Amino acid sequence: MDERSRSAVTHAHEEEVLARIAAGLVHTESEAAFQASRRRTEQIFAYNHTPPGEVEKRRALLVAIFGSVGERTVLLPPFHAGFGSNVHIGDDFFGNVNLTFVDDVDIRIGDGVMIAPSVTLTTTGHPVHPARRTDFGRFSEPIVIEDKVWIGSNAVVLPGVRIGYGSVIGAGSVVSRSIPPMTVALGTPCRVVRAITDEDLTTRTAER
């Protein structure tokens, strides 16, 4: 087989793996290894070790790390990401310390989102049966966080979840299902406890 033929076979294999990933099907570490060049490990390390006063350098690193990033972004180091390049962040974002993106596929965050310390956004899970976890077998589904969402400390958002506009996720919650707009949701598993209404304009916290 000549070089052109080998290249065509490799390309076809990669396209097949990408299609399986996009469909949320199980794939292995070895099968997905060709995506390694999209990992922004060095830039993430550099960002986490950049002094706070070097604002322009921090901004340049965020642009290099993320798939897209809006204006007036605040992300307090350290943060962690599997790729970085699969994360898309809107304007006026605030992310507190120890934010973790497990971004094997897209994580899309809207405008005006606030995320408290030690939150994990993970697009990836693993099969229950150990035989299917050979070579780190896994599946991935994208996460969407709409505009004006606030996520409390130590929350975990799992694969395939969409959090609707304006919603509040309570601290320590495990979000395994999508959350509708303008609601307060909390717990393990995370469940909607009430709607956000105009009465909340006069209160200090979601719980009063």
Q: Which domains does the chain have, with CATH numbers?
A: 3-202 (2.160.10.10)
Which two three-digit tokens encode residue 145? 């966080």
Rounded to 10 degrees, what is the CA torsion of 75, 81, 87, 93? -10
List the beta strands (DSSP E) in 20-161: 68-69, 74-75, 79-81, 87-89, 94-95, 99-102, 107-109, 114-115, 120-122, 124-125, 139-140, 143-145, 150-151, 156-157
pLDDT tens by residue, 14-44: 999 999 999 999 999 999 999 999 999 999 9
> Cα-flanking dihedrals φ and ψ of residue 124, to 5°?
-125, 140
Phi, psi of 7 (to 5 degrees): -65, -40
Q: For residue 88, indicate whether it is catalytic.
A: no
Tokens of 90: 């809107």
From the candidates 13, 49, 88, 126, give the one annotated as an active-site residue.
126
Across the chain, mean pLDDT equals 94
Q: What is the pTM of this model?
A: 0.92
